Amino acid sequence: EVEAQLEALRQRLTALRLELAEAQRRELENLEIEIEMHMVHTDPFGLSTMGGLLTFAWTANAPLLFDSANGKLALYFQGANEQFYVAYYDTMTSAVSFELPAGNNSRVRLLPRLLGPVQGIEIQVQGDDPEICTVILKDDTLGFSETWENVPREVAAFAAVINGQGAPQFLGRLLAETSGTVSGIRLAHILPEVLHPGRMLGLGTAQSPIIETVPLRALAFDGQNDYVSLPEPFIGPAGTLELWLRIPDTGGSQPIFDASTPQSGNVKGKFFYLDIHSRKLRFGMEDQEDRDYEVEVSLNSLSPGEGWHHVAVVWNYESSAVLRLYFDGEQVDGIDS
């Protein structure tokens, strides 16, 4: 009977040892130690080397580096007491992010080109000019300071300058200075049409010798004291006007564009206009014969401030009056006569 009790106790002890080993295994599985990787070296070409010391990992054998199945970089090594260790590096580690307010509920995000900890960096935006500012980036711990002067406050231009893409754009080269006036042009072929003053003249099918080398950029307006000077007359017999429009309020009367001359009245002499009137988006224009055209689309189905919308207007009245209004890629109104 005593022997049976001893055997039962031995079995109980064995079971407890197995439970303890399993508990220790589960605890080790959930044990994770995070090591910060600091700057070690930067070569003359800007290549940065970062590293961290695994103080818990003692080994006498060279570790092995593998691409893990979980998308991480795995470093396998054998411990001093035959233990098995692995250290992972997450290649999707995100960089530190700094955000600056840019007005109109938008922000500019600055991301360091290093993935290491950035604790002492300070960003200052100075200046009273509404168009440009001075940006200072400094870190007293690392002992560096950068000053960027005359940086545009407009978000896209600001980002381009900070990213080193704000170099002056090449527009052209002056070949020769001319003087005097042109009193007449001799054409090599008979002109088959009546040439009106101010109209563009095109003969034959020759390609234009002008090569476009300047990247085109759309104009951005915030609705406050923004003006653009355009040549007169700006509207030709055919053309397209397109824009991205965010409509914070669909009610009342809100002018969006008003291309008029200083001598014009409220309507007379106005080349084109785009506005919101009585919950409708309207586009109106005059041709060279002072004939008026207007297309519109209802905004009743839109909620104020509901995202951005693409608006395009196409006109051609060389032979007949054609005016079409597109809203988010669909034709919503048009005139064909």
Is residue 202, in this structure, part of any structural domain at all?
A: no
Question: Looking at the structure, do residues 242 and 329 belong to the same domain, yes or no?
Answer: yes
99 Cβ partners below 8 Å, 6+ apart?
Answer: 107, 108, 109, 110
* Average pLDDT for 269-281: 78
How far is it, in rounded angstroms, from Cα 223 to Cα 65? Answer: 57
Long-range own/partner contacts, residues 135-144 (CB < 8 A, 24 or more apart): 135/162
Is residue 290, in this structure, part of any structural domain at all?
A: yes
Nearest in space to 199 (alpha carbons), one of 245, 235, 152, 230: 235
- Domain CATH code at residue 257: 2.60.120.200
Q: Which residue has the higher pLDDT, 138 or 169?
A: 138
Question: Looking at the structure, do residues 132 and 69 belong to the same domain, yes or no?
Answer: no
* Average pLDDT for 88-110: 70
Q: What angle do CA 182, 185, 188 make, to 5 degrees?
A: 155
Per the structure, the count of domains in the chain is: 3
Is residue 179, in this structure, part of any structural domain at all?
A: no
- Classify residue 171 by burial, with Cβ atoms within 10 Å: 0-12, 13-18, 19+: exposed
Q: Which residue has the higher pLDDT, 240 or 169?
A: 240
Helix runs in the chain, H state only:
2-29, 155-162
Question: Looking at the structure, do residues 246 and 328 belong to the same domain, yes or no?
Answer: yes
* Average pLDDT for 24-44: 68
Model confidence band, residue 134 (pLDDT cutoffs 50, 70, 90):
very high
Is residue 197, in this structure, part of any structural domain at all?
A: no
Question: Looking at the structure, do residues 57 and 75 belong to the same domain, yes or no?
Answer: yes
Domain residues for the domain of 116 are 98-162
Q: Which of these three, 162, 185, 218, is where a domain ends? A: 162
Q: Which of these three, 162, 197, 215, is where a domain ends? A: 162
* Average pLDDT for 309-337: 85
Q: Which of these three, 137, 162, 187, is where a domain ends? A: 162
Model confidence band, residue 46 (pLDDT cutoffs 50, 70, 90):
low
Question: Looking at the structure, do residues 18 and 35 belong to the same domain, yes or no?
Answer: yes
3-state class (DSSP) for residue 229: coil
Highest mean pLDDT among 14-28, 281-295, 319-333: 319-333
Nearest in space to 221 (alpha carbons), one of 246, 241, 203: 246
